């Protein structure tokens, strides 16, 4: 019975070693040298964030206007949904491999592959959000003499913000998590700790997973804050209801 | 190029790819046979039906083909066989074996000795039998064992485009001295920690590169094609080296830091005891026809003709007369 209290501790010890890996690094598991440590962690985290930001930026440029326009005119629902589902169905690894033959490996390749993953939730959420805007409000805006552009930017978009932002948050989490495969295309993100077990050892794998999870949670909280800022004050109670 | 033209080019490329895949699938493979045709058919033993074997492999073409050949051969011998191929690098494959997730997987003697047992590259015996005995003895210390080696051997090699090699006057790895600091090197992620890879180039040859970029092992030729890598770590059994010999070259390993290794099937002693004599017999039988030429041909059917490793394995076993 005396062994029982050690069991949970043995589990915790693994996390202790992973945390040690993050802050101080350790001897490389095979040949001599040091791996891990805060400098390398920050380096890879910066690259991870860069890839995520680029992919999200590209996805927003593509999906947001498309979703707003399609939603405004109430057309192309089939296109929006089909494009969304197709994007979700395409494996990122296949996209990376296909584009490696077309444009080579590297940042552009990974950015496009991750943007393909990020587009669907933004596109479908934007489309649905605009469609669900109270028709009375849109009619009133038209009655006031607003042009189509004004109706979209001043009425539909503000009212659609909470739903659009929930799409953006979903995309961001997907992208942050999936950016772990970027090292396969030569872009060193936190995924390197996870993929290159030979180089970093088991502690590195766990440390990588913990860092990615932490990054995802941080971004989720930041975006929840951003969503609150972007939502018009009159809608804020409704926001908590939809979220 | 305007964006429109670019989009068009991309779409055209997509069509070309689909077409090429379709054509490759229809292409006949007559002419080049891989087996001598004189192999003895594998006899199914009903006793083996009680034993389930899980065959593993690492994550590149040659390994997938080998894994399928072993799996299908053992199936023909009457075993219940599952596969868990594409495990990853050698460290992950070994962990899977030690954890009992796979019954065995193919490993190169050179990789086993340098990666697992810390042998220096120059201490890897050039005699296949000697390298096998040495690896086996090391594996046995860990409760594992290994079956005799394949006829063929493979090694890592520094590869480049023929045009680059001619331009820079590269024939052997030591020709890189004085030039390597301006050259980009690409290789698998595990390359960074392997003495028969980046570590050997840095310590054995004293080379420093402009950069080392780890990429997926399956992209080792793409990075050369796209001009991103000046140098890429290739395998000596790669199909591209013979099929496109006018395009790619490998640099001679004049300081011998990339020892060649024959494949040995590494497995657990407990599995051997349970599976009986047909286990080792079948493995050594199906690999007996795997000369360098045959292995390269099988790799080519996957990497160049775009066939499935499983289909290529079946073809090989049939052409060799092991199954019908």
**pLDDT at res. A89:** 82
Confidence of residue B317 (pLDDT cuts 50, 70, 90): very high
Question: How far off is chain A from B184, nearest CA to CA, in Å?
Answer: 12
pLDDT of residue B180: 95
Chain B residues inside the 8 Å CB shell of A104:
222-223, 226-228
> Within 13 Å and on the Cβ side, how many CA atoms surround B127?
4
Contact B219 A97 (CB under 8 A): yes
Residue-level pLDDT at A210: 95
- Taking the CA atoms of chain B, what radius of gyration do you get in angstroms? 21
Closest residue in A to B16 (Cα–Cα)? A102
pLDDT tens-digit series, residues B193-222? 888 899 999 999 999 999 999 999 889 999
Compute the average pLDDT of residues B254-265.
Answer: 92
Strands B261-268 and B153-154 turn out to be antiparallel
Q: What is the pTM of this model?
A: 0.78
C-alpha distances in Å from residue B275, one per residue of A108, A175, B51, B103, B164: 50, 46, 6, 10, 51
What are the pLDDT digits (tens) for B12-40? 555 554 444 444 444 334 344 555 445 68
Shortest Cα distance from A105 to chain B (angstroms)? 7
Rounded-to-integer distance, Cα A1 and Cα A5, Å: 8
Contact yes or no for A104 and B213 at CB 8 A: no
Q: Do A30 and B227 touch (CB under 8 A)?
A: no
Residue B186: band (very low, low, confident or very high) from pLDDT cuts 50, 70, 90: very high
Cα torsion B164, B166, B172, B178: sign: negative
Backbone φ, ψ for residue B82 (5° rounding):
-115, 155
- Residues 1-30 in A contacting B (C-alpha not used; CB under 8 Å): 28-30
Query: Does residue A229 contact residue A158 with C-beta atoms inside 8 Å?
Result: no
Mean pLDDT of B92-105: 95
CA of residue B278 relative to chain centroid, distance: 25
CB B89 within 8 A of CB B189: yes
**Residue A9: which pLDDT band, with cuts at 50, 70 and 90?**
low
Residues 6 or more apart from B55 whose CB is under 8 A from it?
B67, B70, B71, B74, B81, B82, B83, B84, B85, B102, B103, B104, B105
How far apart CA A87 and CA B189 sit, in angstroms, is: 28
ipTM for the whole complex: 0.74
The pLDDT value given to residue B24? 44
What is the predicted pLDDT for the residue at B39? 63
Question: Is the pLDDT score of B8 beyond 60?
Answer: no
Distance from CA of A35 to the nearest CA of B (A): 11
Q: CB–CB of A28 and B193 under 8 A?
A: yes
CA distance A135 to chain B (A): 37
User: Residue A43: what pLDDT?
Assistant: 94
CA B308 from chain center: how many Å? 15
Q: Report CA torsion sign: B8, B217, A30, B90.
A: positive
Residue A172 has pLDDT above 50, yes or no: yes
Residue in the structure block whose two tokens are 């101080």: A24
Write out the two tokens for B281.
């017999």
pLDDT digits (tens, 9 = 90+) for A213-239: 999 999 999 999 999 999 888 777 654
Confidence check: pLDDT of A100 > 90 = no
Q: Give the residue-averaged pLDDT of B306-314.
A: 95
Whether the per-residue pLDDT at A1 is higher than 50: the answer is: no
Strand-pair partners of B106: B265
- The pLDDT mean for chain B works out to 88
Q: Give yes or no for residue A44 having a pLDDT over 80.
A: yes
Cβ–Cβ gap A198/B215 under 8 Å:
no
pLDDT of residue B20: 47
| Closest approach of B69 to chain A, Cα-based (Å) | 26
Whether residue A197 is predicted with pLDDT greater than 90 in this model: the reply is no
- Report the percentage of chain B scoring pLDDT > 90: 74
> What is the residue whose two structure tokens read 């990974």?
A110
Reduce the secondary structure of B255-293 to three states and give it as a string.
CCCCCCEEEEEEEEHHHHHHHCHHHHHHHHHHHCCCCHH
Q: Which residues contact B125 (CB under 8 A, 6 or more apart)?
A: B131, B134
- Is some CB atom of chain B closer than 8 A to the CB atom of A203? no
Q: Which is nearest to B91 in space by CA: A204, A34, A32, A178? A: A204
pLDDT digits (tens, 9 = 90+) for B109-158: 999 999 899 888 888 998 999 999 999 999 999 999 999 999 999 999 99
| Range with the poorest average pLDDT among A38-52, B113-127, B174-188 | B113-127
A205: nearest CA partner in chain B: B92
Best probe of the B interface among A33, A44, A99, A104, by most B CBs < 10 A, is A104
pLDDT tens digit sequence for B37-93: 456 899 999 999 999 999 999 999 999 999 999 999 999 999 999 999 999 889 899
Query: In this complex, which of B92, B199, B215 lies closest to A105 when CB atoms are compared?
Result: B215
Neighbours of B92 (CB within 10 A): 17
Rg (alpha carbons) of chain A, rounded to whole number: 22
Is the four-CA dihedral A220, A92, A117, B222 of positive or negative sign? positive
């Amino acid at each position: 019975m005396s062994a029982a209290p050690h069991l949970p501790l043995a589990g915790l010890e693994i996390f202790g070693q992973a945390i040690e890996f993050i802050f101080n690094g350790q001897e490389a598991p095979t040949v001599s040298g040091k791996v891990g440590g805060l400098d390398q962690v920050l380096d890879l985290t910066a690259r991870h964030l860069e890839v995520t930001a680029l992919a999200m930026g590209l996805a927003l440029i593509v999906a947001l206007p498309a979703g707003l326009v399609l939603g405004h005119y109430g057309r192309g629902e089939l296109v929006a949904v089909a494009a969304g589902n197709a994007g979700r169905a395409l494996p990122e690894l296949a996209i990376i491999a296909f584009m490696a033959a077309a444009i080579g490996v590297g940042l552009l390749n990974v950015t496009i592959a991750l943007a393909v993953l990020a587009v669907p939730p933004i596109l479908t959420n934007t489309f649905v959000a605009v469609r669900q805007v109270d028709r009375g409000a849109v009619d009133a805006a038209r009655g006031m003499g607003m042009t189509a552009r004004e109706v979209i930017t001043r009425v539909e978009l503000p009212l659609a913000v909470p739903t659009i932002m929930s799409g953006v948050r979903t995309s961001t989490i997907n992208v942050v998590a999936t950016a772990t495969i970027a090292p396969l295309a030569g872009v060193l993100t936190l995924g390197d700790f996870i993929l290159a077990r030979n180089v970093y050892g088991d502690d590195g794998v766990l440390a990588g997973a913990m860092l990615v999870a932490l990054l995802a949670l941080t971004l989720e909280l930041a975006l929840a804050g951003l969503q609150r800022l972007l939502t018009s004050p009159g809608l804020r109670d409704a926001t908590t209801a939809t979220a | 190029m305007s964006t429109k033209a670019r989009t068009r080019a991309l779409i055209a490329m997509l069509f070309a790819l689909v077409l090429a895949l379709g054509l490759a699938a229809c292409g006949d493979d007559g002419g080049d046979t891989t087996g001598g045709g004189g192999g003895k058919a594998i006899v199914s033993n009903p006793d083996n039906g009680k034993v389930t074997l899980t065959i593993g492999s690492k994550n590149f073409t040659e390994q997938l083909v080998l894994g399928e050949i072993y799996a299908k051969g053992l199936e023909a011998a009457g075993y219940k066989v599952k596969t868990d191929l594409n495990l990853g690098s050698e460290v992950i494959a070994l962990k899977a074996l030690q954890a009992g997730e796979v019954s065995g997987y193919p490993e190169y003697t050179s990789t086993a000795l340098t990666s697992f047992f810390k042998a220096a590259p120059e201490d890897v015996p050039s005699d296949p039998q000697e390298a096998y005995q040495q690896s086996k003895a090391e594996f046995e210390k860990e409760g594992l064992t290994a079956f005799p080696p394949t006829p063929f051997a493979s090694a890592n090699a520094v590869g480049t485009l023929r045009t680059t090699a001619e331009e820079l006057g590269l024939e052997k790895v030591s020709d890189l001295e004085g030039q390597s600091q301006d050259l980009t090197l690409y290789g698998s992620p595990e390359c960074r920690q392997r003495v028969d890879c980046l570590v050997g180039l840095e310590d054995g040859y004293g080379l420093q590169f402009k950069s080392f970029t780890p990429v997926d092992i399956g992209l080792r030729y793409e990075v050369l094609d796209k001009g991103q890598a000046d140098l890429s770590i290739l395998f000596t059994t790669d199909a591209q080296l013979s099929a496109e010999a006018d395009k790619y070259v490998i640099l001679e390993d004049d300081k011998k830091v990339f020892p060649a290794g024959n494949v040995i099937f590494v497995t657990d002693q407990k599995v051997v005891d349970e599976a009986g004599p047909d286990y080792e017999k079948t493995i050594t039988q199906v690999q007996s026809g795997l000369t360098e030429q045959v292995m390269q041909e099988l790799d080519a059917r996957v990497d160049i003709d775009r066939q499935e490793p499983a289909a290529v394995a079946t073809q090989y076993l049939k052409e060799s007369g092991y199954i019908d």
